[in-house]
Structures are given as structure tokens and as C-alpha cells.
Amino acid sequence: MIYETLIEGGKHWSLTLRAGMRLRIVDRDGGANVGMLFYNPQNPLERYNAPDTLKCQHTFKLTKGHCLYSDMGRIFCSIVEDTAGWHDTVCGNADRQRVAGRWGAKSYQEHRNEWTQNGHDAFLVEGGKYGLSRRDLAANVNWFSKVSVADDGSMQFDGNHGRPGRYVDLRFEMNSLVLLHTCPHPLNPAAHYPRRPVLLQLSRADPVADDDLCRNSRPENVRGFLNTELYQRCGGAQE
Amino acid sequence: MTKVRHSNFEPAAALLRHVIPAGDYWIDTVKAGGTLRIVDVEGNQAADTLIFNAGDVWDRYSAVDTIREQGNVYLSHGSKLRSTAGNVLAEIVADTVGRHDTLGGACASESNTVRYALEKRTMHACRDSYLLALAEHDHLGLSKRDLGHNINFFMNVPVTSEGGLTFADGLSGPGQYVEMRAAMDIIVLISNCPQLNNPCNAYNPTPLEVLIWEADVS
């Protein structure tokens, strides 16, 4: 392992990861939510695209075997392990008003590190560190949160989905700027502001084998990997 | 399951009538209280639609905020179309189809390479129409950064309870329409989808028509 850290619940962070790195996200206590967005650090106009990710793989949920696509037909990262089985990418974030309405606003002046931060502001702050603004935000991933859909289209948040120790492993296929927060999922019905920590563990990924699960899970992903490899071969990975 | 609601507006009273050929775009302002109708003239034609707050163009339509706040992934009559800042941009006030998609996004040359074949990279796509529209209207101050996740009027993309996403035959047909009433001054950008590789246009892209009525003419 290269590095391990713990991010408390209700916080935000960002980091740049090179192609070939592996990020394990662990829901240490159960019930965590990790909002995440991805950008190409060389050209942040290229960003995570949830609709392309879903339609390229004919899926609504994210789990092992899926790839997270940019709007340029390339793959930021592959989900190479997942013990949670379902992650949301269509519900966005809670904003300040939603957090205040649901759980009450706790100011920094009064509550210091126990203030009630929200995912929308978290992304604005982390993105701002790289010159990104509200214009650059997009539908994010919500790791460890399950929202299913009934036949009539109605959405249900599964409040029983989280288990202590569940994890998801991301293998990065291209250099990626990763914005993340541990603020509550916007549909979490908990009575009190949920504040769940996650462990982040960085390591070197094994090389992508010919029979790699993510690459071969769908013919679309074979082509997504080819697009990504072409970009690297032509110098797209250089800084 | 459908939520059909017809409109009383008379086409003869419309402020504007415009046909959008397949593969073309249309961009215009709809004033607060005005109504925009999009007609699927020949049937099964996807209308890839983006909306911007005319008073603050970096505040734009947000698919995730819209579906989360209404608690339902499909759009129909009664759906409030929300922005990234949580504002209601418009509300769907008439709909003869009953279900529209906002999960599938727009086609792009690059996503076409993934979905169909690398050699499809030069085929026309909705995002190319969007980019041309923004380039030809650069006084708006919009660029690729401002292309969010759109609405696909007249497209049917059912989600399964197991978490699958399917691309089903359209529920729409010739002459079907959807109407939205602007809750504020909005800029609407429509790409009449040129996609030839999947059934969203029945492999045969056809025209759309847009009509606008001013407030209080019904």
C-alpha cells in the first residue's frame, strides 16, 4: 500500500491519481456515502459522464465489472472489486437548504468540526482549488448508496444497504482528478445528520490482463479501453 | 401508467412556429409564463433538450435535481424541471405521451464509438449540434462546460427494479407532443437527434416542430 487515510463523515477532499493506481474506499462503520466526480487533469472539460456510463453498459446501478466513462468515450476508472453491490449515480447532492431542512443547520461558529456540510458546497470548494466552478459540475457517483426504481419510475432509497467494512476498488485507467465528499446522500431519511467515515487506501494496481473482467464485461468496454489506450499512446497521459 | 394531458392552445395563436429538421438544432428564449410545445411530427423522434436560466445562464437544467425532487426517474405532465441551483425553470403542463427520459443523455461522436464501433466517430451526433449552437451564439457566454445532462423528449428508457437500463420502443407517435410552461425567462436548446445507430429515432430521423405561446393567450 502506498498510503492510507481516514476521511471523517461530512467532509471533503480531492486528489490526482495516475493511470495504474488503485483506490479502495472502505465504509468503515456502515452507512457511509461518498460523493465523487472525475476530471481529466490535462483538460478538465473532459469530465465524468453518468448518462454515458449508464447507457454504454445498459445499467442503472454501478458495481463490479463496470467502467466510469468520461464524456469523450474514455474510461477514468474501472470497478474491479465491490462488496456493496449497488452504488447510485443519478441522485446528485444535498445542498445547504436540503441539509438545513432535513437535519437543521449547524454553523461552524457554534459547532466547529461538527458543522453540517453539504455535498453541493463540498464539490464547489474542491473544484475551486483547480479553477473549476459550478459550470463544471455534473451528476456524481454516490458510493455505498442504493436507490432503486419501481415499474412506475418511483425511486426508493434503501436505508438498510450499508454494512461495516464494505468496500469498492477503483482501478484508474487514465490520470484523473478526483473530487470527493463524505456528506449525506440527499435521500437519506436518517433522523440525525449521518456522519460516517471512510478509509481511503491507495496502492499500485495489477496490469490489465487480456481476460480482465471490466474490459470484457461488455463489448462497449473493449472499445472504451481502446479509446483510452489510444489517448495514452498518443501522449494524452503526459503532464 | 401514462399520465396523458392534452393542451387547449391553438397553433394559429402561437407567437412562433418552427420546424427543426433532423440533425439540426434550435435555440430561443421563452419568456416567463410562455408555453413551448415540441411536436414529434412523424413519430419516434428524440428531442434532446437543454434549458438555461436566461438571467443567469450558468444556472442550467439538472436531470439529477429534477428526478430526485419529484421522486421519479421519468418526466411527464406535472414534472417541474429544476436547475443546478434548485430553481424551477419550467413545468410540463401537457403531454400526450406520458413518459420521457432524462437519464440517457445526448449522443456524442465519442460515446458512439463506445456504443457501436470506433469507426462511427465521424457520424453526426447531438453534442456536435449543441457545440455548433453555442459557437454560433457565443454572445450567450456558454461553452462545452455548460452542457449538462439533457432531457430526451419522446424517448423511452425504462429502469428495471434490479438496476438495469433498457432502451425500449418509443411510446410516442406521429403528432404526439409535450408542452412546458416557463417559470422564468429561459433559453431552450434542442438538438433534433441525428442518431442512426439505435431505435431512438426508429433508425429514421425526422423533423420536430416547436411552437411558443405568450403568457395568457389560452
Give residue-wise pLDDT tens across range B177-190: 999 999 999 999 99
Least CB-CB distance to B65: which of A55, A92, A133?
A92
Question: If you write DSSP's letter for every residue of chain B in order, what string do you get?
Answer: ----B-----GGG-SEEEEE-TT-EEEEEE-TT-EEEEEESSSS--EEEEEEETTSTTSBB-HHHHHHHHTBSSB-TT-EEEBTTS-EEEEEEEESS--BBSSS----HHHHHHHT-GGGGGS--HHHHHHHHHHHTGGG---GGG----EEET---PBPTTSBB--PPPS--TTEEEEEEESS-EEEEEEE----SSGGGTTS---EEEEEE-TT--
Instruction: Read off the pLDDT of residues B105-131 as tens digits, 9 standing for 90 and up.
Output: 999 999 999 999 999 999 999 999 999
Would you list the domain boundaries of chain B?
22-213
pLDDT in tens for each of the 239 residues of chain A? 999 999 999 999 999 999 999 999 999 999 999 999 999 999 999 999 999 999 999 999 999 999 999 999 999 999 999 999 999 999 999 999 999 999 999 999 999 999 999 999 999 999 999 999 999 999 999 999 999 999 999 999 999 999 999 999 999 999 999 999 999 999 999 999 999 999 999 999 999 999 999 999 999 999 999 999 999 999 876 54
How high is the pLDDT of residue B24? 98
Instruction: Say what the pLDDT of residue B135 is.
Output: 98
Residues in a beta bridge with A169: A24, A81
Task: Give the CA-trace dihedral at B205, B29, A91, B104, to 10 degrees.
Answer: 10
Establish if A67 touches chain B: CB-CB under 8 angstroms: no
* Helix, strand, or coil (residue A203): strand
What confidence score (pLDDT) does residue B216 get? 76
Cβ of B149 within 8 Å of Cβ of A226? The answer is: no
Interface check A60 vs B, CB under 8 A: yes
Q: Which residue ranges make up each domain of chain A?
A: 3-236
- pLDDT for position B1: 45
Rg of chain A, C-alpha, whole Å? 17
For position B2, what pLDDT does the model report?
57
Residue A36 pairs in a beta bridge with: A141, A180
Per-residue b or e along B68-86, where b marks 16 or more CB atoms closer than 10 Å to that residue's CB:
bbbebbbbbbebbbbbbbe
Are the C-beta atoms of residues A81 and A201 closer than 8 Å to each other?
no
Region B37-54 average pLDDT:
97
Say what the pLDDT of residue B211 is: 98
Dihedral pair phi/psi, residue B140, rounded to 5°? -75, -20
How many percent of chain B have pLDDT more than 90?
92
Residue B203 binned pLDDT confidence (cut-offs 50, 70, 90): confident
Interface confidence, given as ipTM, is: 0.97
Partner-chain contact A54 B104, CB within 8 Å: yes
Distance CA B176, CA B91 (A): 18
pLDDT tens string A156-187:
999 999 999 999 999 999 999 999 999 999 99
pLDDT value at residue A50: 98
Contact with chain B for residue A49, Cβ under 8 A:
yes
Instruction: Walk across the sheet containing A75-82 and list its strands.
Output: A3-7, A198-204, A21-27, A166-172, A75-82, A67-69
Nearest-CA distance A2 → chain B (Å): 33
Q: What is the pLDDT of residue B217?
A: 59
Any A CB within 8 A of B168 CB: no
Residue B201 pLDDT grade (very low, low, confident, very high; cuts 50, 70, 90)? confident
B165/A58 CB distance under 8 A: yes
Q: How far apart are CA A115 and CA A106, in angstroms?
A: 5
